[in-house]
């Protein structure tokens, strides 16, 4: 089995067309300490190839926009919702072309990449700060000294990137 970069699940080279089956497989998807993905049931375990990450965030919902209580939620390509918060942080890496590649932690080391349109929606909500207001989990303290672009959700700021 394989999950393509665009979030399409394949079995023996053929796309799985039934969303209910993809959702079922997603419930048994696990990631180990080495970063490998597995479909794991109580009686079987099989490796699955994942080209980037298993899920794509295809929609963003904003609650209490522009307030200190603003909360951002993302819907994945399998219709699961995840809230951007301390337990589900945002990570912005660079893709092979040097462009931002944003990811949100869904669960236990499994991430969803934000689609381009969702990332543009997220950037539209962002604000500029002189420096990071908070340091996201996994980021080193003392990041860029200059201004950064960040977004607030669930009472916490998440860094989108430095402003050059």
* Chain centroid to CA 109: 10
- Per-residue pLDDT, averaged over 36-47, amounts to 95
Q: What 3-state DSSP class applies to 34?
A: coil
Torsion of CA 114, 101, 19, 88, to 10 degrees: -60
- The Cα–Cα gap between 105 and 85 comes to 10
- Is residue 53 predicted with pLDDT exceeding 60? yes
pLDDT recorded at residue 131: 62
pLDDT band per the 50, 70, 90 thresholds, residue 139: very low
- The Cα–Cα gap between 158 and 54 comes to 22
CATH architecture designation of domain 55-162: Roll (2.30)
Residue ranges per structural domain of the chain: 2-50, 55-162
CATH class for the domain made up of 2-50: alpha beta
Whether the CB-CB separation of 16 and 22 falls below 8 Å is answered with yes
Which of residues 128 and 49 earns the better pLDDT score? 49
pLDDT recorded at residue 8: 96
pLDDT digits (tens, 9 = 90+) for 56-87: 999 999 998 878 889 999 999 999 999 999 99
């Amino acid at each position: 089995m394989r999950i393509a970069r665009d979030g399409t699940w394949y079995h023996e080279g053929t796309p799985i067309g039934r969303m209910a089956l993809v959702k079922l497989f997603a419930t048994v998807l696990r990631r180990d300490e080495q970063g490998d993905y597995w479909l794991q049931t109580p009686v079987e375990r099989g490796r699955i190839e994942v080209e980037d990450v298993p899920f794509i965030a295809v929609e963003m919902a904003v609650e209490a926009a522009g307030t200190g209580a603003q909360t951002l939620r993302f819907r994945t390509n399998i219709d699961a919702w995840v809230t951007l918060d301390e337990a589900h942080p945002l990570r912005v890496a660079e893709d092979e072309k040097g462009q931002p590649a944003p990811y949100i932690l869904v669960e236990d080391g499994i991430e969803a990449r934000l689609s381009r349109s969702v990332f543009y929606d997220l950037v539209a909500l962002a604000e500029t700060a002189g420096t990071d207001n908070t340091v996201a989990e996994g980021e080193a303290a003392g990041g860029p000294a200059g201004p950064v672009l960040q977004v607030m959700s669930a009472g916490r700021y998440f860094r989108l990137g430095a402003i050059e």
